[in-house]
Amino acid sequence: MIALIQRVRSASVEVDGRSIGAIGPGLLALIGVASGDDGARADRLLTRVLDYRVFADADGRMNLSLRQVGGGLLLVPQFTLVADTTRGNRASFTRAGPPAQAQALFEHLVNRAHEWHAPVQTGRFGAQMAVSPINDGPVTFWLEAPPSEP
């Protein structure tokens, strides 16, 4: 699983011209699910998103996590994050998880996020969405869940 996180002053998502999720200061996390991902990997990714230090401390250094500052989390499914773009001029989506698996894992991630953090808002899996971030910085990081340890 992949998360592209952006530190935001605010962010919102609309479907069919209607707002379905909005946060104030916090993180917008675009989530990609790859074939072979599972619930444990989703949990590890969420832990990284919540604990990644992207917010300024009293000295202006990025030493605080979303959990520490209590910011909002907007989770938006985005299958294009797992695209293979290494060849040609068109992305290949063979690495993407099958839609049913990807939706189940995104919903798992959302449920865990609600258990582990507040406030949490979401986009809608499979919908055409208009995502509006007001970036803070900008600060953007690509996170992947670490592999399982044997």
Indicate the angle between helix axes 39-51 and 99-116, nearest 10 degrees: 40
Catalytic residue among 6, 47, 68, 80: 80
Would you call 80 a catalytic residue per the annotation?
Answer: yes
User: Of these residues, 47, 55, 68, 78, which one is catalytic?
Assistant: 78
Catalytic position from the list 6, 55, 79, 106: 79
Q: Fill in the amino acid letter for 21.
A: G
Catalytic residue flag (residue 121): no
3-state per-residue secondary structure call for the chain: CEEEEEEEEEEEEEECCEEEEEECCEEEEEEECECCCCHHHHHHHHHHHHHCCCEECCCCCEEECHHHHCCEEEEEECHHHHCECCCCCCCECCCECCHHHHHHHHHHHHHHHHHHCCCEEECCCCCCEEEEEEEEEEEEEEEECCCCCC
Residues marked as catalytic = 78-80
